[in-house]
Amino acid sequence: MRVTLLGTGDTTGTPTVGCDCDTCKRARDPGDDLRERLRERGGRVTAGGGVERTRFSVHVYNERTGESLLIDCSPDFRQQFLREDVPLPDTAVVSHIHFDHLDGLGNAYRVLDALDVHAADETDPLTGATVAETVADDYDYLDQVTVRAQSPGERFEVCGFEVRLVPVEHPPLLCYGLVVEEPETGAKLSLSGDTSYGIPDRSRAALADPDLLLADAIVPAHLCEYHPKGGRHHDESGVPRTFGDKHMTREGALALGDDLNADRTRLVHVSHFYPAEEAFEQPLAVDGEQYRL
């Protein structure tokens, strides 16, 4: 299993359009030392010498079957696939209907001959529709796309992998983390999805013991003081593991990695609100990182 982080940013990406904060400035001009350190860990440096975190997406290649799974369809789909040396997807899974995880699906037009898109069949009380139904309705003009509804918690097979959608906490919409397992090798990839630290116990059990955990870590915990809802799920030292009620803090994501006994944890869905001196340091992931499990 070869995992490529196509997009590691949040809904606006880094650098953010129209933003002149210190972190976005550093992304545009990171300096030679940071560029070299990013290259050493597989991060991509742009033609202009900057570094980016595009909107979230993960490519998983099955070296046994030669098939590719795309997890979430970033609006930066075109840029990501031009930049990375990975094949176009045979199948996709969509975790939830926020635009930064879905709107890249339009790239199937005149690029892909056919694409099965798997999504949850659980009706969201807010929308009155399932994720699968929303995807099918929004992209009914794409003859290439066939939506496959899947029951959360149930295994389904795609690209030679066994995959599960697991409920997480990302109010007000239903949202799902993912488990991707290679049955022949035993390799396991877990993704928290967009979520608070309050992931249900049953989902934690499904996500547990991964070779690699990709965990939502939108900001460091100290920034919770600036959120109207503050922070939640404080640890024994009073550090919030949830920013507001939708995303984990850096500290929450790392705690989740410990809780799940992850062999390796990489922090994704990272915002430009990290202080510039912290924004590109380990264990925060950057686009282009690749892992063989």
The pLDDT tens digits for 146-190 are: 999 999 999 999 999 999 999 999 999 999 999 999 999 999 999
Beta strand ranges found along 99-257 (DSSP E): 115-120, 145-150, 156-158, 161-167, 176-181, 188-191, 212-216, 231-234, 240-243, 247-248
Residue-wise DSSP of 12-26: S-BSPTT---HHHHH
Question: pLDDT digits over 244-273, tens only?
Answer: 999 999 999 999 999 999 999 999 999 999
Question: pLDDT digits over 195-244, tens only?
Answer: 999 999 999 999 999 999 999 999 999 999 999 999 999 999 999 999 99
| Three-state DSSP state, 261 | coil
- Flag whether pLDDT at 48 surpasses 90: no
- Flag whether pLDDT at 77 surpasses 90: yes
- Flag whether pLDDT at 73 surpasses 90: yes
- Flag whether pLDDT at 45 surpasses 90: no
CA angle 114, 117, 123 (to 5 degrees): 150
Across the chain, mean pLDDT equals 96
What confidence category does residue 86 fall into, taking pLDDT thresholds of 50, 70 and 90?
A: very high
